[in-house]
Structure 1
Amino acid sequence: MKRKGDKVDGWVILDKPVGLGSTPAVGKVRRLFGAQKAGHGGTLDPLASGVLPIALGEATKTVPFVMDGRKEYRFTLRFGEARSTEDLEGEVTATSDVRPADQAIRAVLPRFVGTIQQMPPAFSALKIDGKRAYDLARAGEAVDLKPRPVSIERLELMGRPDAGHADFVVSCGKGTYIRSLGRDLALALGTVGHLSFLRRTAAGPFREEAAISLSKLEALGHIPALLGALAPVETALDDIPALALTEAQADRLRQGQPVLLTRDVPPSGALLRAEAGSKLVALVRSDGVALKPVRVFNL
C-alpha cells in the first residue's frame, strides 16, 4: 500500500512558539510539507519556545543522534513560589520570602555542574507502568519517579531583572529537565521557585540562528518555496566522520550487504557516514574488516 504524502527528506529547524506542544507542532509542519513521515528531535514543553528540530522522510532515521546531542537553554527562575508543574502552568504549592543574593546564587551553581542526580517533574512525559507521568499527575494520582543521572556541562547566572527573578544559561545532555533544575536551584538557596521563562537555543547541531517560525513557514505557502527551509538529512550527523565509497560499494550497502575494505579500514566499532558522490548512502559500523550498514537512506 502506498504511503500517503510526498517524498520530502530533510530537517526543519522550527522556532516553536509558546503554547504549542511538540507533537502538534510536528503535525503542522508535516501537513505544510505534505510529507509522508515526520518526527522530532526532542520534546519541548508547551510553555517553552525555541529550537524544535523536525525530521521529515528519511531524516527520521537520524532522530536518535539529535536526541542524544547536547541541548542549550536560556531560562528565568522566579523565586518565592513553588508550583505543581515547576512552571507557570501549575498551582502554587509553597511560598517563601527568601530572595537570594547574586553571590549566594553563584556559590551554589558548581553543585549542579557535571553528572548529577535529578528527580524529574511529576508533570513529565516519562512513563510509569505504561502511563505518562503527566496523565497520572493530572488525575491526582501519586507519581512515583526515581532520581536519574543527568549531565550538565555549563550553568551560568546571566542577570537579575529584579530580586525575585534570575536569568540563566545552561548546556546539558539528554534527559535533563530544566524545570527540575530550577526547582532544585531554588531549594539549594533556601527558598522555592519555578520557571517563568524557558527557551531552547540549541539541540544537537541545530541552533536558534537557523530556526524558522511557524508563521514564516505558513507564509512560504507550498512546495517548492518550502523546500528552501529544509536542512539536509545529514545535518544531524555532522559529528560522524564521512567515508567516500564507489557507486558499486554504495549499491551493496543499499541492499543491506557489507562492504569489504582492503586498505584504510576504520577501527572496529567505528561509526561512519558512508557517501557516494557527496550523497548520503548509509550509516555504517566497521568490524575492522568490513563496513556493515546500520541505517540505509533512500535519497
Structure 2
Amino acid sequence: MLIAQLTDVHIGFDPDARPEELNRIRFRAVLERLEQAPHKLDFLVLSGDLTDHGDRDSFTKIAAVLGDMPCPLLPLVGNHDDREELRRAFPDTPCEDEFLHYVVEQDGLRIICLDTFEEGRHGGAFCSRRRDWLKRQLAAGGDRPCVIFMHHPPIVSGIDWMDPAPDEQWIAHFAEAVEGHQHAVRAIHCGHLHRRVTARFRGIPLGITPSVAPLVALDLRPIDENRADSRALITTEPPSYALHYWDGEDLVTHYESCGEWEVLAHFGEHLKPMVREMKAERR
C-alpha cells in the first residue's frame, strides 16, 4: 500500500497573483509528479495548512485541483485552516464529532488522522477530549499496526521560531495517549515545520514532511524576538512530499522534491548484469 502525504500547501497566500499564485503552481507540480509516477497511490493524506486563511474561496480552489485524484483523500486541519470550511470542501471526510479526527484501515494498517487545531493559535493543541479519543482508538486496535498523521509535530526541532515549548500541555496529552501503545504505532508523521526532519517521540519514529509551499530556512540558532537579525526565514527550495510504503509488516518513508532534473541512467540491456547481481545477493 502506498500513502502519499502532502502538507502545508497554503493556497490563498497571494490570491491576486497573476497568472497564478506561487503556492498553486508548486501544488500543481507535486500533483503532476504523483500522477506521472509509475506506482499508483492508495491514499493521499493532506496533513494540514491546505489554505493560508481558512477561507471558502481557497478551499474551493484546492478541492477543484484535487477533483481528479484517483485515490481517497484524507485531509487534516492545520492552524491556518478552518474545520467547517474543510468539511464543506471535502464532504467525504469521515470525521466523527466536532474534531476532525478519524481512523481508516486497509491492508492490515490503521491510519489514524488527528486534529491539532485550536482557533487563534499558531502552535498545536490536543485537549483532554482528543487525548481520550485517541486512547480509545489505540485500545480498540490492540496490537494491530497503525500510523498516526497530525499537523503539528510534538517535538522541539531546534528551529526556534517554529518550535513549541517542550512542556506544553498538548504534548503531554498526546504522550499520555500513546503511552503503552508504542508497539502498535509504527510511525508518527507531521507537517507544519516546512522542513524534512526525523526524530523519535516516546520511542516511536517520527517524521516531518517538508512543505509544498516555500520551505522554512534551516537555521538552528536561537532567535531573539526583539532583535531583527536579518536571518533567512523562508526559502524557495523545491516543493516536496512524502510517500509511505506499507508492505504488510513494515512502514518505509520516501521523500522527494519536485523539479526539473535529468535521468542519468535507464534500465537497459547494459545494466541487466548489475541488477541481476544485486538481486542475487538478496536470495
TM-score band, normalised by shorter chain: under 0.3
TM-score where L is the length of structure 1: 0.25
- Point out the structure with the larger strand share: 1
TM-score where L is the length of structure 2: 0.26
Relative contact order: is structure 1 or structure 2 higher (C-alpha 8 Å, sep ≥ 6)?
Answer: 1
